[in-house]
């Protein structure tokens, strides 16, 4: 009887672990959180060294009270720096010539995401688009807006 109880408990634990596999986040390597040579934490001088002066520079006041300086390169590349420390905390790119370290860019078919990064940590569907989100262990996300099975935007965010 004790043997049957032990086996039942062991099988129960095994089924519990297998059933909760989706709750575990995969976490991509933090070296994958980049687009066109830009990473979270880079500064405005570095950005200007790569891309030149922005076409538009805007001061943005967030609902949280935090202030950002936003560099806009013709709508194809937008980089937000915190006013407090001058580090990039968000990058958004629709240009198809700027790629992640894995070679992913806007305009590519969405099935390349699973091949490059595995299953997304989270995804949301809204307004006929799906947002695929991949996290690293350092508080950054790499996400992709997908519409009609094509990547239309690559995003990087700092969560902390």
Token readout for 147 is 């519409």
Helix (H, G, I), strand (E, B) or coil at 67: strand
- Provide the pLDDT for residue 133: 97
Helix (H, G, I), strand (E, B) or coil at 123: strand
- pLDDT, one tens digit per residue, over 64-79 is 899 999 999 999 999 9
Token readout for 52 is 């030149």
Q: Which sign does the torsion angle of CA 39, 153, 129, 108 carry?
A: negative
- Provide the pLDDT for residue 160: 63
Asked if pLDDT for residue 86 goes beyond 70, the answer is yes
H helix or E strand, kind and range, residue 131: strand 129-135
- pLDDT, one tens digit per residue, over 99-158 is 999 999 999 999 999 999 999 999 999 999 999 999 999 899 999 999 999 999 999 999
Percent of the chain at pLDDT exceeding 70: 83
Tell me the pTM: 0.81
Mean pLDDT of the chain: 86
Q: How far apart are alpha carbons 84 and 66 in whole angstroms?
A: 8
Q: Which domains does the chain have, with CATH numbers?
A: 30-158 (3.40.33.10)
Q: Are 155 and 95 in contact (CB under 8 A)?
A: no
């Amino acid at each position: 009887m004790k043997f049957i109880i032990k086996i039942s408990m062991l099988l129960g634990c095994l089924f519990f672990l297998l059933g909760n596999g989706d709750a575990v986040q995969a976490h991509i390597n933090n070296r994958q959180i980049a687009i066109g040579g830009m990473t979270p934490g880079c500064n405005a001088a570095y950005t200007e060294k790569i891309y030149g002066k922005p076409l538009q520079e805007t001061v943005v006041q967030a609902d949280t009270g935090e202030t950002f300086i936003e560099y806009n390169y013709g709508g194809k590349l937008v980089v937000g720096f915190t006013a407090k420390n001058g580090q990039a905390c968000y990058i958004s790119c629709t240009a198809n010539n700027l790629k992640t370290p894995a070679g992913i860019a806007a305009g590519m078919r969405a099935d390349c995401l699973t091949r490059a990064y595995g299953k997304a940590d989270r995804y949301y569907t809204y307004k006929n688009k799906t947002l695929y989100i991949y996290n690293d262990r350092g508080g950054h996300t790499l996400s992709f807006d997908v519409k009609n099975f094509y990547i239309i935007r690559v995003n990087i965010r700092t969560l902390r």
